[in-house]
Chain A
C-alpha cells in the first residue's frame, strides 16, 4: 500500500530534550515536506526537499532541522524543543502536483 508513515504518532517531552520525528514514504517520490498545523493558522511549511541531499526552508523553519540522506526518509529534528513547538506535525511527499500526507505526529513540549 502506498503510504507516508510517521513515528511517533504522539510524543510528550520536556523543553530542551532533543527529539527526532521520522517520516518515510514508499512511493519513490522525490519531493518531501514537513508542515505544522496550529489552531487558527492552518498548515505552515517548515522545510522541504526536492531530492536527496537537497533541502530548503519553508515559512517557519526556526528551531527545526531536517536531513535527506536517502529518498524514502525525511526526518524532522528538534535540537532543543520549546513549548511554542507544541503542535501537530505532518510529513508529505509528492511526484507531481498533489502531495500525500502522513497521519500526523502530535507533539507536546512541556
Chain B
C-alpha cells in the first residue's frame, strides 16, 4: 500500500506562471515532509521541508503548504523557470532525524519557455 502518493505523473507549465505539485499521504504517523528535485543523470537534491506543526514553509520561489487534516501537501513554485524542469519527489517520515524516508513516485515538471 502506497503511503505517499503523487497522483500526477507529469505537469506542464508556462514560464513565469505558478507550478503546483501535489502529494497525499496515508500514514498519520508522518510528521515531517520533504520535497526533492531530480535532474536526469543526477541524484535527488533536497529542496524544502515542513513539519506538521506548521502549515506553510517558504524558501525563495518555493513554498510548501501542509493540510494535516486532509493529509495533503503541495509545493508551489512561483515564478516557474525553465531550469525548474525536473522530477519532483515528495517524501515523508515520522521523525526529524536519521530515519527512513518514504517517497512518492514523483511528478515530472516541464516549464515551457
Contact = CB atoms under 8 A, between A and B. Distances in A.
Contacts, number: 58
A32 B41 CA distance: 21
B43 A96 contact: no
Given A42-B89, A43-B89, A94 B103 contact: no
B55 to A, nearest CB: 18
B43 A104 contact: yes
A30 B101 CA distance: 15
Interface in B27-59: 32, 34, 36, 41-46, 49
Given A42-B103, A42-B104, A43-B89, A104 B97 contact: no
Interface string B87-113: 001000100111111011110000000
Interface of B: 6, 9, 32, 34, 36, 41-46, 49, 89, 93, 96-101, 103-106
